[in-house]
Amino acid sequence: MSSILTAGSAFASASSIVLDRIGSLVAVSGSDTALVPEALESHRRELTGYCYRMLGSGSEAEDAVQETLLRAWRAADRFEGRSSVRSWLYRIAMNVCLDMLRGAQRRARPMELGPPSPGREESLGPMLPEGKWISPIPDPRVLPETADPAEVAAARETIRLAFVTALQRLPARQRAVLILCEVLRWQATEVAELLGTTVAAVNSALQRARAALGEVPADQRPPTIDADHAELLARYVDAFERYDIDRLVTLLRDDAIMSMPPFNMWIEGSAEIGRFMLEPAPSACRGSRLVATAANGSPAFAHYKPHPDGGFAAWALQVLEISDGRIGEYHCFLDTERIFPVFGLPLRLVS
């Protein structure tokens, strides 16, 4: 499947073709010609959210939605309007995700792969392959466009890194049932029709999925999000860009954790994190610039390090989890060539 870095124009072209072809098809079949093309386009965001929760990868979710539209285009002449376009697209997206998950390893975060390491550079360990770790996704790609703050808040909770990681523990079909029933609030009858099974089977799968998630250790569950943390983030940016590590450490919870995918190392404790950030290689982050964004329902920053040739080069996407007024989790995703384009972020800053 083509990389997200080269798929943008093909995706836009395929989307346009799908819209035109389904619009023509519906006109012939006598269905509502005014709603179907617009409905197809409006579901792109929720389809991306569904695929992301299934796959645990922002770039793979984008690829899955592209493939969904391409399959819809190829099957457009067989769409008879017996179900809604939304259900039809979800059926295709589900099959795409199941195909992509077949034989794949479970994605995780470093915290699920082993104990914490000392805050020293030699603890970094080997780099994990891309398919091993959960990767982030921009909030605007998956959160609903709505004026209801409660709806947005509920959706935000279901794309948190810890929640998406917990979903990966489930078998693929159980995962699909739980996302459809618990996150998207589909009726069991709708899910049964989508999966080609019975309501009893759906309810049984949902019960097993709930039980499995209930066994996730408390320290691997998403913390409660603080409602307002603008002042804390402003202090964090100021401390980081001045590289005042003593001040930065005061903004962390004592039991804060730090991870740096694709390395399998993770650090526990604000003192250890501060010590690691002053190691020879990480201290090369002095003079960095942070650009605010949002990922996985959490505040995030694009981190650019000074480049020897001038300007600043992409170094990491930082995703922060805040609880009890301080930063509790600090995740630095270093695969910038894959992640930054998904966020619409440049790989270099001039100044």
Q: For residue range 124-157, what is the model confidence (pLDDT) as tens digits?
A: 878 888 888 999 999 999 988 875 778 888 888 8
Distance, CA of 171 to CA of 321 (rounded, Å): 27
Closest CA to 319 of 223, 246, 231: 223
Mean per-residue pLDDT for 10-26? 43
Average pLDDT, the chain: 83
Residue with tokens 């819809």: 72
**Does the structural domain 230-349 have CATH classification 3.50.30.30?**
no
How does pLDDT run across 241-297, given as a tens digit for each residue?
999 999 999 999 999 999 999 998 999 999 999 999 987 666 788 999 999 999 999
How does pLDDT run across 149-188, given as a tens digit for each residue?
788 888 888 999 999 999 999 999 999 999 999 999 999 9
Q: Residue 24 pLDDT more than 50? A: no
Mean per-residue pLDDT for 292-308? 94
Q: Is the pTM of this model over 0.85?
A: no
Q: Quick one: tokens of 185?
A: 């609030």
Q: What pLDDT is attached to residue 69?
A: 82
Q: What pLDDT is attached to residue 145?
A: 80
Residues of the chain with CATH 3.10.450.50: 230-349
Task: Place 33 in a pLDDT band, splitting at 50, 70 and 90.
Answer: very low
Q: What pLDDT is attached to residue 41?
A: 67
Distance, CA of 254 to CA of 264 (rounded, Å): 22
Q: Residue 20 pLDDT more than 80? A: no
Distance, CA of 259 to CA of 319 (rounded, Å): 10
Distance, CA of 203 to CA of 192 (rounded, Å): 9
Q: What is the 3-state secondary structure of the chain?
A: CCCCCCCHHHHHHHHHHHHHHHHHHHHHHCCCCCCHHHHHHHCHHHHHHHHHHHHCCHHHHHHHHHHHHHHHHHCHHHCCCCCCHHHHHHHHHHHHHHHHHCCCCCCECHHHCCCCCCCCHHHCCCECCHHHECCCCEHHHHCCCCCCHHHHHHHHHCCCHHHHHHHCCCCHHHHHHHHHHHHCCCCHHHHHHHHCCCHHHHHHHHHHHHHHHHCCCHHHCCCCCCCCCHHHHHHHHHHHHCCCHHHHHHCEEEEEEEECCCECCEEECHHHHHHHHCCCCHHHHCCCEEEEEEECCEEEEEEEEECCCCCEEEEEEEEEEEECCEEEEEEEECCHHHHHHHCCCCCEECC
Residue type at 125 in one-letter notation: G
What is the fold of 1-104? Answer: Rna Polymerase Sigma Factor; Chain: A (1.10.1740)
How does pLDDT run across 37-73, given as a tens digit for each residue?
455 667 789 999 999 999 999 989 999 998 998 888 7
Q: Residue 310 pLDDT more than 50? A: yes
Q: Residue 18 pLDDT more than 50? A: no
Q: What pLDDT is attached to residue 32?
A: 41
Q: Residue 234 pLDDT more than 60? A: yes
Q: What pLDDT is attached to residue 220?
A: 67
Q: What pLDDT is attached to residue 129?
A: 86
How does pLDDT run across 191-225, given as a tens digit for each residue?
999 888 999 999 999 999 999 888 877 666 666 55
Residues of the chain with CATH 1.10.1740.10: 1-104
How does pLDDT run across 88-133, given as a tens digit for each residue?
889 999 999 999 998 778 898 988 888 998 888 878 878 888 888 9
